[in-house]
């Protein structure tokens, strides 16, 4: 098993999803002070306060510990996708834009 701890952060903010408050939908955010995070085999197994972390995981070995040194922890969102309709090299178009040519002009010539 591979384990990773993130400790020492000042705060953590993460979305909880949508809820109805005051008769309207809004996104809810979890905010924690002095958080700790643990992952095992690439899966988050704990997100909570440092106090709760010590109670639940204190004394357990960990492979890697990251010192977040007073930072705020936020989830990372990666939108890795492609647009097959634009298959090919667009380097020449980028060069034309960098030279000052407009998008409209490039599109009119088939770019």
Residues 20-66: tens digit of each pLDDT: 566 666 678 889 999 999 999 999 999 999 999 999 998 899 999 99
Whether 77 has a pLDDT exceeding 90, the answer reads no
37 C-beta neighbours (distance < 10 Å), count: 21
This prediction's pTM: 0.61
Task: Provide the CATH number for the domain formed by 1-71 in this structure.
Answer: 2.30.40.10
> Where do the structural domains in the chain lie, given as residue ranges?
1-71, 80-111
The values of phi and psi at residue 92, to 5°, are -65, -40
pLDDT at 91: 80
Mean pLDDT, rounded, for 80-92: 70
């Amino acid at each position: 098993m591979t384990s990773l701890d993130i400790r020492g952060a000042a705060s953590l903010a993460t979305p909880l999803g949508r809820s109805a408050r005051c008769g309207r939908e809004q996104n809810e955010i979890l905010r924690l002070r002095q958080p700790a995070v643990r992952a095992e085999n690439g899966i988050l197994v704990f997100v909570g306060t440092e106090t709760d972390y010590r109670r639940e995981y204190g004394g357990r070995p960990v492979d890697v510990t990251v010192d977040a040194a007073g930072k705020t922890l936020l989830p990372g969102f990666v939108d890795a996708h492609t647009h097959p309709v634009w298959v090919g090299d667009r380097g020449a178009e980028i060069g034309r834009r960098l030279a000052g040519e407009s998008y409209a002009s490039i599109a009119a010539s088939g770019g």
